[in-house]
């Protein structure tokens, strides 16, 4: 009876973990794909360890619950060496996987990112309490709110093309954050950080916002990211250019 109870509880735990380990939906960007893949790999490591630890815990509770006195454990060097080596291997796997992802230019700003003249470079500038997006190749500036030489519009990104975002600020600390695309970068006064990504789902719109409290208007620092085909992107840029929009120079 006890063995059946243990087996039932173990199967229930496996079912819950299996639901949590279901494959993730298609990534919305290369950045999102890298982060989701790392999470999935770590989950594959965490699930067996969780099952092993919980199985031993349940077995121990059921097996020794009627004992009146606790007995000291005996030394087992082979067991100690085994779990020490296993722990080192697991930590090495986690460390290498995390380093490869977190060191990628699609996840974090690095000095190795140097866009060329033909790349799509967008200057993303924060200021209280709005965002402006200047497209270097097209001499167009859009913003979360209209202003001099700024047309109101979303952060427009061409699909299936590497885009470089230069994150900066005109006043104090802000943070550029688009969770569904896996993008997050602090906007630090006096500095400019470049992050790279490639959106993969044209036709989708994503919510972005400032992730660093920056004053009374912090909650108003919202913007949209619209991913369109490359053809539509060029058409929209041409429309903004013909409308007399000129870069405000971030």
Res 204 pLDDT > 60 = yes
Please write the tens of the pLDDT for every residue from 175-194. 999 988 888 888 889 888 88
Neighbours of 73 (CB within 10 A): 6
Q: Which domains does the chain have, with CATH numbers?
A: 2-63+78-102 (no CATH), 120-242 (2.60.40.420)
Report residue 247's pLDDT band, with 50, 70 and 90 as the boundaries. very low
Q: Which residues contact 20 (CB under 8 A, 6 or more apart)?
A: 43
Please write the tens of the pLDDT for every residue from 119-128. 888 999 988 8
- Position with higher pLDDT, 150 vs 4: 150
Q: Which pLDDT score, from 0 to 100, does residue 19 have?
A: 47
Q: Which pLDDT score, from 0 to 100, does residue 28 have?
A: 76
Strand pairing report for 193-197 and 174-178: unpaired
Res 25 pLDDT > 50 = yes
Rounded-to-integer distance, Cα 219 and Cα 25, Å = 29
- Position with higher pLDDT, 8 vs 165: 165
Report residue 248's pLDDT band, with 50, 70 and 90 as the boundaries. very low
Q: Which residues contact 35 (CB under 8 A, 6 or more apart)?
A: 101, 107, 182
Res 147 pLDDT > 50 = yes
Please write the tens of the pLDDT for every residue from 83-105. 899 889 888 888 888 888 777 76
Q: Is the pTM of this model over 0.85?
A: no
Q: Which residues contact 203 (CB under 8 A, 6 or more apart)?
A: 227, 228
Bond from prior residue into 228 cis (ω within 30 degrees of 0): no
Q: Which pLDDT score, from 0 to 100, does residue 249 have?
A: 41
> How big is the CA angle at 164 (ends 173 and 132), to the nearest 5 degrees?
50
First to last CA, the chain: 72
Report residue 1's pLDDT band, with 50, 70 and 90 as the boundaries. very low
């Amino acid at each position: 009876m006890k063995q059946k109870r243990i087996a039932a509880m173990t199967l229930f735990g496996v079912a819950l973990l299996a639901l949590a380990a279901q494959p993730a939906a298609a990534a919305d960007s290369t950045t999102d794909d890298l982060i989701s893949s790392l999470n999935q790999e770590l989950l594959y490591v965490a699930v067996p360890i969780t099952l092993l630890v919980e199985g031993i815990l349940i077995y121990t509770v059921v097996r020794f619950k009627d004992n009146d006195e606790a007995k000291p454990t005996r030394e087992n060097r082979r067991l100690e060496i085994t779990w020490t080596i296993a722990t080192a291997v697991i930590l090495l796997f986690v460390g290498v996987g995390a380093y490869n992802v977190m060191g990628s230019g699609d996840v974090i700003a690095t000095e190795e990112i140097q866009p060329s003249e033909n790349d799509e470079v967008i200057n993303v500038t924060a200021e209280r309490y709005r965002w402006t997006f200047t497209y270097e190749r097209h001499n167009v500036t859009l913003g979360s709110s209209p202003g001099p030489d700024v047309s109101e519009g979303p952060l427009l990104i061409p699909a299936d093309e590497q885009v470089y975002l230069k994150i900066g600020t005109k006043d104090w600390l802000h943070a550029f954050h688009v969770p569904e695309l896996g993008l997050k970068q602090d906007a630090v006064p006096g500095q400019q950080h470049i992050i790279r990504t490639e959106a993969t789902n044209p036709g989708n719109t994503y919510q972005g916002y400032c992730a660093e409290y920056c004053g009374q208007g912090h909650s108003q620092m919202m913007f949209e990211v619209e991913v369109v085909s490359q053809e539509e992107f060029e058409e929209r840029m041409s429309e903004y250019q013909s409308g007399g929009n000129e870069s405000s120079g971030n």
